[in-house]
């Protein structure tokens, strides 16, 4: 079902649902029923996540927005306009209209008053907040290709809402964390039992630590560049083909999604280096020794670093 979840990762539940129609299995049949009920029927309300009607009311507004953008029943601009209007009405603002950013600032303050953490904004390409109850802090020193990066990690737990991807996949996929100016936020439950494995030590810690290194040394780097470099760092250190195959399956040139675009760049560039053409067959890649892929990733990373350093000198 990798292709099915790739469509979900791209924020296109309609395409994912159409793909399910072509798959003949009990799993696909069960998923079709789930997705029809949630996204395409005159659905009932989702399960209540809290007995606080104010909190549940906010969640329901975002659920309606998720259904709209993930099925593309409206344009993204229209869906965001409706989201802003619904949040404005819910907050009973004194203005006729609040933008989403201003509405989410007010939501954050009220959630804090009610004992919750709230983080708004976009997990590209869509809006969708994270709402949780518990958090603890820990310091790490992370080895990277260009040195050691100190990293503050905030471990979040007891979630009510985990943005649009969690909703789009019924919790099968979700963001593992993100970087902010004060540190990195980590969804704790996503790494349970994996604290010493590459899923955490490489794909989370090193990936996010590279972001912090680049924020400091290359402050004008765009989102695609940031993700490109952090993903290359994953490939430099990962001892198995797991990470590369993940990038291969999600690779897509998409101006709205820097994660997918960065994966596309990496697959395209490494294909040319190894095969002189773009190769998307996973079996071809798993036949390449992983240490060779590690070295190719390191070369791309160092070449990119040298280019950034030259450009910053010129500026």
Residues 171-211 pLDDT 10s: 998 888 888 889 999 999 889 899 999 999 999 999 999 99
Of 17-21, 40-44, 82-86, 147-151, the least confident: 40-44
Helix or strand holding residue 132 (H, E): strand 130-144
User: What percent of the chain shows pLDDT beyond 70?
Assistant: 97
What average pLDDT does the segment 233-257 reach?
93
**pLDDT tens, position by position, 123-147:** 888 999 999 999 999 999 999 999 9
Cβ contact 100:80 at 8 Å: yes
Helix or strand holding residue 148 (H, E): strand 147-162
Q: Which of 198, 278, 273, 283 is nearest to 236 (CA)?
A: 198
The pLDDT value given to residue 60: 94
Q: Which of 92, 205, 190 is nearest to 151 (CA)?
A: 205
Q: Which of 181, 126, 192, 103 is nearest to 156 (CA)?
A: 192
199-204, Cβ contacts within 8 angstroms, sequence gap of 24 or more:
202/234, 202/237, 202/238, 202/243, 203/176, 203/234, 203/238, 203/243, 204/176, 204/177
The pLDDT value given to residue 314: 61
Cβ contact 166:193 at 8 Å: no
Pairing verdict, β 147-162 and 183-187: parallel
The pLDDT value given to residue 47: 74
The pLDDT value given to residue 145: 97
Residues in Cβ contact with 45 at an 8 Å cutoff, skipping those fewer than 6 apart: 60
**pLDDT tens, position by position, 217-240:** 999 999 999 999 999 999 999 999
How would residue 51 be classed by pLDDT, with cut points 50, 70 and 90? confident
pLDDT over 70 at 95, yes or no? no
Q: What CA–CA distance (Å, rounded) separates 281 from 266?
A: 15
Q: What CA–CA distance (Å, rounded) separates 212 from 179?
A: 8
How much is the pTM?
0.78
Collapsed DSSP state (helix, strand, coil) of residue 139: strand
């Amino acid at each position: 079902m990798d292709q099915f979840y790739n469509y979900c990762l791209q924020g296109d539940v309609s395409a994912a649902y159409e793909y399910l129609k072509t798959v003949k299995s009990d799993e696909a049949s069960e998923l079709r029923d789930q997705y029809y009920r949630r996204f395409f029927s005159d659905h009932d309300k989702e399960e209540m996540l809290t007995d606080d009607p104010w909190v549940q009311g906010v969640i329901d507004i975002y659920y309606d927005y998720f259904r709209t953008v993930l099925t593309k029943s409206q344009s993204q601009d229209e869906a965001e306009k409706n989201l802003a209007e619904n949040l404005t009405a819910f907050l009973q603002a004194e203005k006729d209209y609040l933008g989403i950013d201003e509405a989410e600032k007010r939501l954050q303050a009220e959630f804090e008053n009610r004992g919750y953490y709230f983080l708004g904004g976009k997990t590209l390409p869509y809006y969708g907040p994270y709402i949780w109850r518990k958090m603890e802090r820990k310091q790490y020193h992370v080895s990277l290709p260009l040195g050691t990066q100190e990293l503050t990690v905030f471990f979040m737990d007891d979630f009510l809402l985990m943005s649009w991807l969690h909703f789009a996949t019924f919790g099968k996929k979700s963001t593992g964390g993100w970087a902010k100016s004060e540190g990195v936020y980590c969804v704790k439950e996503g790494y349970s039992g994996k604290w010493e494995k590459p899923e955490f030590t490489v794909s989370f810690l090193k990936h996010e630590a590279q972001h912090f290194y680049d924020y400091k040394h290359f402050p004008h780097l765009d989102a695609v560049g940031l993700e490109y470099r952090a993903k290359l760092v994953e490939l430099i250190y990962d001892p198995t083909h797991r990470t590369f195959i993940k990038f291969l399956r999600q690779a897509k040139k998409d101006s709205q999604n820097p994660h997918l675009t960065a994966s596309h760049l990496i697959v395209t560039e490494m294909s040319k280096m190894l095969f002189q053409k773009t190769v998307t067959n996973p079996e071809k890649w798993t036949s390449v020794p992983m240490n060779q892929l590690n070295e190719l990733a390191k070369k791309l990373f160092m070449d990119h670093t040298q280019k950034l350093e030259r450009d910053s000198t010129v500026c």
